[in-house]
Each structure stands twice: as structure tokens, then as C-alpha cells.
Amino acid sequence: MNIRIFKEDVLDGLQKAANIIQNRSGYPYLRSLWLQASENRVNVMATDMNIEFKGSYPSEVLTPGMVGVQGKDFVEIIRRAYTGGISLKLDAESKHLNIDQGGEQGSFSCKIPILESSWRQDLAEFPDKKSGPVLWSGDFFQELIDRVSYCISDGDGDNISCMLIKPGEGSFIDVCGLNSHQMGLIRFTHDDLRAVLPSSGILIQKKYLLELKKWIGNKEVEVSLDEKRVFLRDVDHKELFSLPLSSYQYPDYLSLLERSKGRSTSRLTVNRKEIIDALERLSIFNSDTNIFTYYDLNSAGAGALSVSVKSQDKGSCNQKLKAEFNGDLKIISFPTKSMLEIFSHFHSEKIDLVMDTENPCAVSGGEDPDYTVIIMPMKVSEHVNYEEEKVQ
């Protein structure tokens, strides 16, 4: 292989590939990056045996071929190279790749060892279906991930460590994330995507979502599925990103949604920005042994809410806010940081909390009609703390 690449053409793709592979530890195929040159293109391929990436970029191909290199080192060399052309030439006898650059800015020459071809892994191809790929907005895909991923369990290898995408009621698609104490659910319509989703939906593990967000950015993507993987590629077919689907049985999230409606509910309505401001102030007084904020729904008087924190280590703080409340509850508590995170993912000016003594609390907003966050099934005791119940 003998090619000339330009840093500005390939660096972004190389960095995406490097994000997938491991560092120096592990087997060579887990830290390798493969370059395949033909027809004035260089194809970049990388996998960690789960996520797979392919990118195709312009190059001057003098001699076609393929070579594997230590991915992180190679990408760092290209990143630190000068802007402009870089020559890559395989020396098959010494089993090294020679990297050279010369120009007005400066010059350098180095060589790095190549990998045995037996280490190369075949990567899955984008499925060609009669219905064609589904077009999806990258911006909206990112928003979906943002609004449910913080609710997904941080564990690994179980059903609640996944994001669910599933055909919902009517023409909706449901995107859900949950853990042992909260659930995020957002609904949207996309007829083409709904048509290709299996009735049971698909599960994507949380550990893959960050890399997926990095790759998608704000571009429009084409989506396709097979039984084991989800595939995404940009509309000019320059890059392909795929990851495995999980086969776990997902919890019945719809029953949790129904339970949150309750039979006899209390409703609290607060200004979102004001409650966030108050909770940020109160969080100063939280400690490892007291992570809660107490919501006094009774003593502050009509049209008002009292929120407070008490800590033996840090003291106490109390604040009154304007609020609307209807119901029988007198005082209740929520983890401060959890509620801050929940409120921050809404856009609505006012936030509604619907709760009772037997069912989960549902958080919603009038300007977020298809988004609901639930504090998972819990009991309210005389001390009025929410106690988590496992939902697995």
C-alpha cells in the first residue's frame, strides 16, 4: 500500500475510530485500526467487538492495499502532523508503515509496526432492504438520548441498563429508560421508523449511547436494523456506525405509567426555574447521610410551598416558593440531586408533580406534552420519605 492522505480530510474520521478501540491493553484486534486503500479512497475500520465503525475518505492511491496499525498511536501521529499531505507507505519486508510529511510548515518521518492480517475482523455491512433505510434527524436522536439516558441504570448486562425504543400506543414510538428508582419516557411520531421496529422494540445498552451521540452529532442519518444490530450511516454514505442490540426482557413500563396516575392524587405545580434555583441553594446543606429535600405542602399557606434541608453536619436551610397545590398530602421528600436533574430536562415554564400515598410520582410539564419522568414505586410513611422499591 502506498497512499497520500490529507490531514483535514481524514482526522475527524480517525478520531471517531480511535474513540471505539481500546488503549494499549488487551488483544491486538481490540486496539487496532485498519486502513484499506483503493480507487482514490481510504477506508478506515475499527471495532471493539461490539461497536463497529467504517469511514471512507479521499486519498491519492498510488498502490492499493490494506494495513492494520496500533490505532491510538497512529491517530495521535496524524493529529500532531502539519496541515496538508501525509504519505503512508507499507514496507512489507520490515513489516512497518512509513509515515512521511514535508512542506513549508515542517517535515517529519517515522515508522510504526503493522499488525498481522489474521487480527482483522470482518465488519457487518449496512442491510439493504426493499423498504430502504429510514431517515432520522441526528439532533432529535441526541435529544431522545439526553432525556432518558440519565434514568437508565449504570449497571451492565441487565435489562434496565438499556434504552428501549418500541412502537407505542396509536402512531407513537416510546423511548424509555429506567433504573431502580426512576423512569424517563418520551413519545414521538415517525411512521417510517415505527414500520421497521419489531413489536417488542429494540434495546441499546447505556454504555454505547455516549459513543453513539458523539458520532451522530447534528447530521441526518439513515437507520436500518437486523436481528442483532442497529446500523446508522450518514446520508452521503461516508461513515457507518453500528452496535449490538440486547435481547433482555424489558420491564412493563406501561404498568408503571398507569400506576403513576393513581386513584386519589395530589398535584403540585411549581415554576421550573424557581424550584431549580431553590434546590441548587438547598443542595449545599445535603450530606452523605441526608440527600433529601423536604416539601412542606401544608404550613406555608395558600399558594406557597416550603422546601427545606436539615443536616447535623452542615446546618439547615428553608425557602418558600409560589406554588399551586391540591390534595391531602402534608409533607413529602425527594432526593435533591435527582429532582434537579429531572427538572433540568424539561422545557416547560411550570412543572406538575402528581403523587399519592400508594403510587409513583409523575413529573410532567405543559410544554413537554409527550415527556414524563416517574419517581419509581415508593411508599410514603408517617415520616413521609419516599422509599425506593426495586422494579426488576
pLDDT exceeds 90 at position 357: no
pLDDT-wise least confident of 14-23, 50-59, 176-185:
14-23
Q: Which residues contact 158 (CB under 8 A, 6 or more apart)?
A: 248, 392
pLDDT exceeds 70 at position 388: no
Average pLDDT, the chain: 90
* Share above pLDDT 70 across residues of the chain, in percent, rounded to a whole number: 93
Q: In which band, very low, low, confident or very high, does the pLDDT at 331 lie, cut at 50, 70 and 90? A: confident
Radius of gyration of the chain (CA): 26
| Helix and strand counts by DSSP (H, E) for the chain | 8, 27
* Share above pLDDT 90 across residues of the chain, in percent, rounded to a whole number: 72
pTM of the model: 0.89
Q: Three cell numbers at 313?
A: 453536619
Q: Three cell numbers at 197?
A: 421496529
Mind listing the pLDDT tens digit for each residue in 241-255? 999 999 999 999 998
Question: What residues does 3 pair with on adjacent strands?
Answer: 61, 88
The C-alpha atoms of residue 127 and residue 53 are separated, in whole angstroms, by 15
Mind listing the pLDDT tens digit for each residue in 302-327? 889 999 998 888 999 999 999 999 98
Q: Three cell numbers at 82?
A: 502539519
Mind listing the pLDDT tens digit for each residue in 220-231? 999 999 999 999
Residues 173-190 have a mean pLDDT of 96
* DSSP-assigned letters across all residues of 338-391: HHHHHHHT---SEEEEEE-SSS-EEEEETTEEEEEEEE-SEEE-TT-BEEE---
Q: Which residues contact 324 (CB under 8 A, 6 or more apart)?
A: 267, 268, 269, 303
The three-class DSSP label of residue 19 is: helix
The three-class DSSP label of residue 74 is: helix
pLDDT on residue 379: 45
pLDDT on residue 2: 97
pLDDT on residue 286: 94
The three-class DSSP label of residue 253 is: helix
Q: Three cell numbers at 352?
A: 406538575
